[in-house]
Structure 1
Amino acid sequence: MGAAGAALAQQDATEVETDTVVVSATALKVATPTIETPRAVSEVGRDELDRRAVDKYDETFRYRSGVVSQPYGSDNNADWMFLRGFSAEGSTYQDGLRLFRTGGYFWWMTEPYGLERVELLKGPSSILYGEAPPGGLVNAVSKRPTAEPQGEIELQVGNKGHRQIGIDTSGPVSGRDDMRYRVVGMVREGDGELDGTDMDRYYFAPSLAVDVSEDTTVTFLASVQKDDGVPTTGFFPAYGTVEGTPFGKIDPETNLGQPDYDNLDQRQLSLGYELEHRINDTWEFQQNFRYSNLDLELRSVYPNSYVTPPRSISRGVVDRDGGYDAFTLDNRFIARTYTENTENTLLLGAGYQRLDLDYDNADSFRTLGDGSSYFVNIDTVDMFDPDHRAFSGPETGDPTHHDVEKEQVGVYVQDKFRLNDKWIFLAGARYDSVDSRDVYRDETGRSREGYDDDQVSLTGGVMYLADNGLSPYVSYSESFTPLASTDASGESYEPLEGRQFEVGIKYAPPGFDGYVTVSAFDLEESNTLITSSAGAQRQIGERSSTGIEIEGMGYLTDNLKLTASYTYTDTRVDVSEEQQDEHAPLVPYNMASAWLDYDFAGALHGLSVGGGVRYVGSSANSPDAGETYKVPSYTLYDAVVRYDVNEHWGAQLNVNNLTDEEYVSGCDFYCYYGESRSVIGSLSYRF
């Protein structure tokens, strides 16, 4: 049974997606059907990524529960998601290993074209992954070599200057039955949502699988990516977006940055491998390793959130130059034992992460060695009609140089026990040691910040598998996130600690090709920093999130497939000693979505159509941002038409935001316009 599960997990994502029973290794680090996992898990496979023409990573989970996609609008140089009311900034993984997003702007960017599928584990996940935010974890699974020859060339054109060509070819190495290869390449260019912005991307990802013996396989994975262009600066004041003015509203395409000055040049390189070795009939050893290098040059002018009457706004500048090297390693021993009435899966693991980040910071927002900070305005523009010709290069002073070192070592154990094919019991624990230092130099001299932390994380769960397909469960999980800053006495803060209780039901009716999951959760993060009456930050706050999530997928007929979700989330945060239990910004109470796919038969065989609706309810702005207001709800429609001429040729047309709805996706101190209508036509040749 264990071998069959592992084999199914390695199948092509299209095969997994055709059978709606999903197998995932993200939730337990052991390939397991998600319907038998006592945690809320979602997956988007390759077939759906193609169907919806996903070309930006934060579009992946638009039709899944628990995820706020693009809360800061469509940003061409960052991917943004909120998971169960918490930012996913530190939640991104690929092939089970962490992708570092740190230093404010040194964010690893994930290319959807290079993925087989994307898996989402909701709630705290430190038991298996160490340091992580409490909202959840997103794991991208890279395309891998296939045993059967296959290939595809795809061309795309669309509005907003969208142009893309991709090639994906795979199969056995010529003359060898123990080696398989895959080569994925893509070039894309397109305009951003704001006037004068654009981005080009170049992506290349070769991989090679080698059967060293009947019991040992090594898969080598590599990627090179380059992003170059003018970044979007989608920061707008509430005045002119959600608030009316005598001058009307700010046009969503207005660029309050400086398009002839702003620039992004980001280069990424990754090299790694996955080793699988069967020791005997009981034990298996797995090892994942990756080296990552990111190099960034970013220069971007942005507006302040405060308006100077009647219609002017001041601006600052972000200026980063540097890069990082990262090493990640995960080792796992897996033992599967069986008796007549039991099945036990024991996981023993050890992980290591190291980050070396070196960069210069010449921003308008400056922090001094004594902890104080100040902001330097570089100029002022008319926010309804900015004149970019009057701009002169800003003087930001000598840059602050940062030398960041971060290291994490963890060991963990997890046991999944199955009794009488009815009961599943899960328990696990992990110990982590984290050490981080930031040595920086500014005009006040040399300073050093950092932290050392040891942390124990626990998890547990129980699930019952009923004969009628109903599987109720209850689970508990923990997370921790270290804080790099220090308190007024110079002592390191305690890490943020997350705890979640979750109850749910997973339903896979016999004879029905589909499933429905319902989960309710109570999630709390303690040790949150709040501002005290004395002005210093104290670690006595809390951020909490409670909610209900419903998600389902299945074939209503042989030709009609439905994917639907509903999310209710109530996220609260302590801001200060006076402001407690305030509604958190950017997280709506209610969200709902539904997508239908229909494949025609008979004379129209090869033709398929699909359409979806996404509703996002109203949300609040930051409770400490001054005036309190609500961000209105919005409803968006998407559609697709595809025609497969024969087994080789196919054409597709995708339209997102079909009615070109103008909306604000959310507000905190700033407000952010959502993505406008997107039209993409595709032509593919499969060989």
Structure 2
Amino acid sequence: MMFAGLAPVAMAQSTDGEQEPGELQALEVTGSVLKVDVPLAESPRPASVVDREELDDRNVQSLDESFRYRAGVVSGHYGADNDTDWFKVRGFDQSTYQDSLRIYREGYFQWLPEPFGLERVEVLKGPASILYGEAPPGGIINAVSKRPSDEKSGIIELQLGNREHRQLDLDTTGALTDNASYRLVAVYKDREGDLDHTENERYYIAPSVAIDLSDQTRLTVLSSFQRDDAIPVNPFKLPYGTLDDTPYGKVDTSTNLGQPDYDKNERTQAAIGYELEHDVNENWSFLQNLRYNRLDLELRSSYVSYQDPADPRIAVQGLVYREGTTDGLTVDNRFTGHFFTEHTENTVLVGLDYQNLSGEGDQYDNFLDFGMVDMFDPVYGNYTPVTDAQLDDIETDKEQVGLYVQNQLRIVDRWVILASARHDWAETEAKTTAAAGGTTVEKSDDNQWSLSGGLMYLADNGLAPYVSYSESFQPLLATDTDSELYEPLEGKQWEVGVKYAPNWFDGYLSAAAFDLKEKNSLVQDGPQTVQTGEKESQGFELEGNAYLTDDWQVTLAYTYTDAEDKEDDTLNQLPLIPRHRAAFWTDYDLSSWVPGLKVGGGVRYNGESVGHSFAGDTLEVDSFTVADLMARYDFARNWRAQLNVNNITDKEYVASCDYYCYYGESRSVIGSLSYRW
């Protein structure tokens, strides 16, 4: 088809937007992944947050770099792709939102949030249909945009690095009038990809304004425009020459096995919307989020399809062609009420949301004979371009209406009881007009209830044990061999855990064990696809962040994931998902010895993983460990220099395999110079 742990802390902010050394505080999320103003430390839901300070410290360049030092999230398993963000949460796919509204990321039509334009990135782990409607069972990634501030501040930053990295950033905010403020964020970025002859040039601008319409009402208008011109990084490689030794050696990690003089990825994405906040009275408040977004895409991406039986050096190439437009209109209306008695506190959430996501355009897929290339000494140009006569015309439309209600009851400041229910009405239609003639229409019409609940105990010593349950559903726009629509995928998760954030300890620690099941999975039964499967992911997560001294901060994460497809007789683990992952980051403020100096570094471990081979065997991928470093120096007045190095040893490794194999990202070196006010 065309469109086919815990982090209950935020850095305390000084007046110029920077983190005060040695200070963490409980995070109260407003209009974000939980949709209510309750500390994550006091909610029986598994979530993690990466704030602006950490994004800056690690100089995050793409959304999927955000959670490298968090538990439960796998990213980078396809290498340094420059046209898609890749995540797996607790072994499953996830949905991506921006400002708590769905962004259209179907098939190759990928909306890419610019990291410099974000205030923080959040993940809600496990089924989340209670708050967000239809979604995969992995969870929700929510990117939160920068907002206007009444306080005048800004930054101008220049970055240079390897792979011809050039970047210029601007972020300025302040008051326009006594009741209005603005923010303007702009980025120019140009960098070569991890593969030879690939690159991406980006222009991004995001103006926003906030107006206090009255003492009870505030309107924030958010807009953005982004243009990417790229030769795409297509990281597909065969096991032959990556995992397997050959008489010709290994295929070089930077070898491009596409057709770079033909490949292109031109994407234009624009959005405008608003957030309207109104305090109805002392108990009730109302928030309406609305956004319209449009994405235009022209993609030609060639890739390795299979090995030529007549010559093991030669790879036969396939081609993906997409040209079209997607439009999205999303709106979320919700009332939040707070009610108190002598011994109880109720936080009530009642909401109604609507999504309309549509797309139209042309597509072409050639898996067998687009072109050929020598994997060990590529010479480009041996391919047959696609013609207009080969293009299929595709139209898709998805509508969803959801009504939800939730109550979080707090009893005698000890017990937290969470109960939620939601009903969704979802309709999806896809119309295909084939180049060879003939039109097919697939429709899906689903009504679904989703339930969620949790129980937590808040002890005086900072321990908060909890148990929770959540559900998800995901309609499938496909039919079986009898032309009957498949049933929606259904996800269900049980979780037990404990969150620890004592008053005497400047940080937090969390541990959780979960059991996540997906029902109605599609599996292969000979040449047919049948809906009899079940996937299950059981695991344990440990996550923490703390200041050990006023100057020394540490972040740690460990994930154990036992995920399997119960109908897969080949693998004993879901492909791409390692059983063990661990990460450790530490930074130290050396201002006591050298004023303005801060250094940090981290280590990321990815355990062994498995995948399918074309021959029906198991591909086994070795574990790997990479290290990152940063150094930051504030000098003169308002000036800052920073250096970030990821994969400091330039380790060559295979990140994952499933039929194809993918090298991990090579060393990245970026230096930056900024002026802040």
- TM-score (normalised: structure 1): 0.94
Matched, 1:24 2:29: yes
In 2, Cα distance between equivalents of 1:14 and 1:670: 43
Give the SS at the match of 2:618: coil
| Map 1:477-556 → 2, pairs under 5 A | 477-533=470-526, 535-556=527-548
Identity %, equivalent residues: 51
The code of the aligned residue for 1:313 comes to: A
Q: Deviations over 1:23-77 (max 9, x none)?
A: 2244431021111110111100101000001011110000000011111111011
The CA deviation at 1:395 is 5.4
Asked if 1:386 is matched to 2:378, the reply is yes
- Give the letter for the 1:22 counterpart: L
2:47 corresponds to which of 41, 56, 80: 41
Equivalent residue for 1:370? none
1-side partners of 2:198 and 2:263: how far apart? 9
Match of 1:371 in 2: none
Match of 1:598 in 2: 588
1:279 maps to: 280
Aligned partner of 2:191 in structure 1 is: 190
**2:65 aligned to 53, 59, 62, which one?**
59
Q: Partners of 1:120 and 1:14 in 2: how far apart?
A: 23
Question: Which 10-residue stretch deviates more, 579-588 or 78-87?
Answer: 579-588
Q: C-alpha deviations, 1:643-683, integer Å up to 9, x for none?
A: 00144100000100000000111011110011000000000
Question: For residues 667 and 324 of structure 1, do their structure 2 counterparts lie closer, same or farther at Cα, with a shift above 3 Å needed?
Answer: same
Q: In 2, are the aligned partners of 1:344 and 1:418 still within 8 Å (CA)?
A: yes
Query: Post-superposition shift, 1:393?
Result: 2.8
Aligned to 1:245: 246
Distance 1:229 1:142, change over 3 A: same
Name the structure 2 match of 1:134: 137
* Corresponding residue for residue 6 of structure 2: none
Residues in 2 aligned to 1:378 and 1:94: alpha-carbon distance in whole angstroms: 37
Query: Do the aligned partners of 1:402 and 1:440 also contact (CA within 8 Å) in 2?
Result: yes
In structure 1, the residue matched to 2:3 is none
Q: How many pairs are equivalent?
A: 664
Cα distance in 2, alignment partners of residues 494 and 10 from structure 1: 51
Instruction: Please report how far the alpha carbon of residue 279 of structure 1 lies from its aligned counterpart in structure 2 after TM superposition.
Output: 0.5
Q: Is the 8 A contact 1:360 1:399 kept in 2?
A: yes
1:498 touches 1:526 (CA, 8 Å); kept in 2? Answer: yes
2:236 counterpart letter in structure 1: F
Pair 339,638 (structure 1): closer, same or farther in 2 beyond 3 Å: same
| Equivalent position amino acid for 1:33 in 2 | P
Runs (5+) with no aligned partner, structure 1: 365-374
Higher mean alpha-carbon deviation, 279-288 vs 310-319, is at 310-319
- For 1:101, give the aligned amino acid: R
Task: Please state if 1:656 is matched with 2:646.
Answer: yes
Deviation at 1:302, TM superposition (A): 1.0
Higher mean C-alpha deviation, range 8-17 or range 511-520: 8-17
Distance 1:480 1:543, change over 3 A: same
Q: Which residue identity lines up with residue 200 of structure 1 in the other structure? A: E
SS of corresponding position for 1:86: coil
> Any gaps of 5 or more consecutive residues in structure 2?
1-8
1:558 partner amino acid: D
In the superposition, relative to structure 1, how do residues 232 and 335 fare at CA in structure 2: closer, same or farther (>3 Å)?
A: same
Does the residue aligned with 2:224 lie in a helix, a strand or coil?
strand
Residue 603 of structure 1 and its aligned partner are, at CA, apart by 4.2
Residue 21 of structure 1: CA displacement? Answer: 2.2
Query: Partner letter of residue 506 of structure 1?
Result: K
2:5 aligned partner? none
Secondary structure of 1:32's counterpart equals coil
Quick one: which amino acid aligns to residue 538 of structure 2? T
Question: Aligned to 2:251, what secondary structure does the other structure show?
Answer: coil
Instruction: Report the Cα offset of residue 16 of structure 1.
Output: 9.7
Contact 1:541 1:574 in 2 (8 A): yes
What SS does the corresponding residue of 1:49 show, helix, strand or coil?
Answer: helix
Structure 2 distance, partners of 1:439, 1:636, is 46
SS at match of 2:604: strand
**Aligned-pair distance for 1:136?**
1.3
**Aligned pair partner of 1:169 in 156, 159, 172:** 172
**Number of the residue aligned with 2:429:** 437
Report if the CA contact (8 A) 1:70-1:665 is conserved. yes
Residue of structure 2 in register with 1:351 after alignment: 353
Q: Distance in 1 between matches of 2:472 and 2:637?
A: 47
Amino acid at match of 1:406: K
Residue 119 in structure 1 maps to residue 119 in structure 2: no
Deviation for aligned residue 1:580: 7.6
Pair 1:84-2:90 in alignment = yes
Change (3 A) 1:144 1:426: same
> Does 2:563 match 1:571?
yes
Instruction: Look up the match of 1:377.
Output: 369
The separation in 2 between residues aligned to 1:220 and 1:69, in whole angstroms, is 32
| 1:452-471 equivalent positions in 2, closer than 5 A | 452-471=445-464
Aligned counterparts of 1:394 and 1:116: Cα–Cα separation in 2: 42
CA contact (8 A) 1:529 1:537 kept: yes
SS at match of 2:116: helix
Contact 2:571 2:610 in 1 (8 A): no
1:145-184 map, 5 Å = 145-173=148-176, 176-184=177-185
1:626 aligns with 2:627: no
Q: By how many angstroms is 1:387 displaced?
A: 0.9
Residue 13 of structure 1 and its aligned partner are, at CA, apart by 7.4
Deviation at 1:389, TM superposition (A): 4.0
Pick closer, same or farther for the CA change 1:13–1:479 going to 2, 3 Å.
Answer: farther
Question: Contact (CA 8 Å) 1:114, 1:184: kept in 2 or not?
Answer: yes
Is the Cα contact below 8 Å between 1:205 and 1:224 reproduced in 2? yes
State the Cα distance separating 1:10 from its structure 2 match.
14
The letter for the 1-side match of 2:26 is V
Two-structure CA RMSD over aligned residues (Å): 1.9
Which residue identity is paired with 1:450?
K
Matched residues in 1 for 2:519 and 2:637: separation?
A: 55
**Secondary structure of 2:439's aligned partner:** strand
Shift in alpha-carbon separation, 1:671–1:623, aligned structure 2, 3 A: closer
One-letter amino acid of the structure 2 residue matched with residue 618 of structure 1: E
**Amino acid in structure 2 at the alignment position of 1:230:** I
The separation in 2 between residues aligned to 1:76 and 1:254, in whole angstroms, is 15
Q: Secondary structure of 2:612's match?
A: coil
Q: Secondary structure, in 3 states, of the residue corresponding to 2:131?
A: helix
- Kindly indicate whether residue 677 of structure 2 is the aligned counterpart of residue 672 of structure 1: no
- 8 Å CA contact retained: 1:486, 1:492: yes
Contact map agreement 1:583 1:623 (CA 8 A) in 2: no
Find the counterpart in structure 1 of residue 4 from structure 2: none
| CA distance in 1 between partners of 2:194 and 2:151 (Å) | 41
Q: Would the aligned equivalents of 2:170 and 2:186 in 1 still touch at CA under 8 Å?
A: yes
Report if aligned partners of 2:104, 2:326 keep a CA contact under 8 Å in 1: no
Secondary structure at the counterpart of residue 124 of structure 1 = coil
Distance of 1:21 and 1:379 partners within structure 2: 56
SS at match of 1:203: strand
Q: 2:34 corresponds to which letter in structure 1?
A: L
- Counterpart of 1:369 in structure 2 is none
- Structure 2 CA distance for partners of 1:20 and 1:565, relative to 1, 3 Å: farther
> How far is 1:255 from its partner?
0.5
Return the match for 1:639 from 614, 626, 629: 629
- State the alpha-carbon separation in 1 of the partners of residues 33 and 451 from structure 2: 14
